[in-house]
Amino acid sequence: MIGFRRAFRCGLAALAVTLAPASVTPVWAATGTVRIEVVKAGFIVGVGGGRGTLVFQGRRYPLRVGGLSLGATIGASKADLVGRAYNLRRASDIAGTYTAVGAGGAVGGGASGIRLQNARGVVLDLRGRNVGLELNASVSGVEIGLR
């Protein structure tokens, strides 16, 4: 029993050390606004894609969005999301892979919200509406790039 507790504590410590660099906020960073439209469909493996816009330091940057979810996914939905992008030093910092683990659903329509982070420390805090029928409990990855 003591061996299990020690292994558990060591595992938690290793996880904390692994995640710590990803949560470090840059010394100087700015905030932008983001609007994203994503369409998803799937059965077991969900695939989605869309487009969006980043407004940062008075300029508009078109975005492309791609995504994949693995797990229990079924249905199709469309999400229109708006929010903020935190910790940007330059517009290109928004590019990268964002991950989130969670569960959710949409039937007909409903509110949605998500908080994602990429390897550069950029945090997207998005809210919006889901339209469609989708149930999921999955690990999702979202790839965002400048067009």
pLDDT at 76: 79
Half-sphere exposure of residue 12: CA atoms within 13 angstroms, side-chain side: 5
Global pTM value: 0.69
The structure tokens listed for 117 are: 């982070």
pLDDT band at residue 134 under the 50/70/90 scheme: low
The pLDDT score that the predictor gives to residue 109 is 59
What element of type H or E holds 21? none
In what side-by-side order are the strands of the sheet with 30-56?
Answer: 30-56, 59-88, 123-146, 96-117
CA angle 48, 79, 24 (to 5 degrees): 80
Kind of pairing between the strands at 30-56 and 96-117? unpaired
* Lowest mean pLDDT across 57-61, 78-82, 131-135, 142-146: 131-135
98 has a pLDDT exceeding 70: yes
| Predicted local confidence at residue 135, as pLDDT | 59
Query: How far is residue 132's CA from residue 119's CA, in Å, rounded to a whole number?
Result: 31
Q: Identify the pLDDT of residue 38.
A: 82
**Is the pLDDT score of 100 beyond 80?**
no
More confident residue, 75 or 11: 75
CA 86 – CA 39 distance, rounded (Å): 24
Compute the chain's Rg from CA coordinates.
17
Tokens of 75: 């249905």
- Structure confidence by residue, pLDDT tens digits, 8-51: 454 444 444 344 444 444 456 789 999 998 887 776 666 778 89
Kindly state the tokens that stand for 135: 């149930």
Architecture of domain 26-146 in CATH? Beta Barrel (2.40)
> Taking the domains of the chain in order of start, what are their residue ranges?
26-146
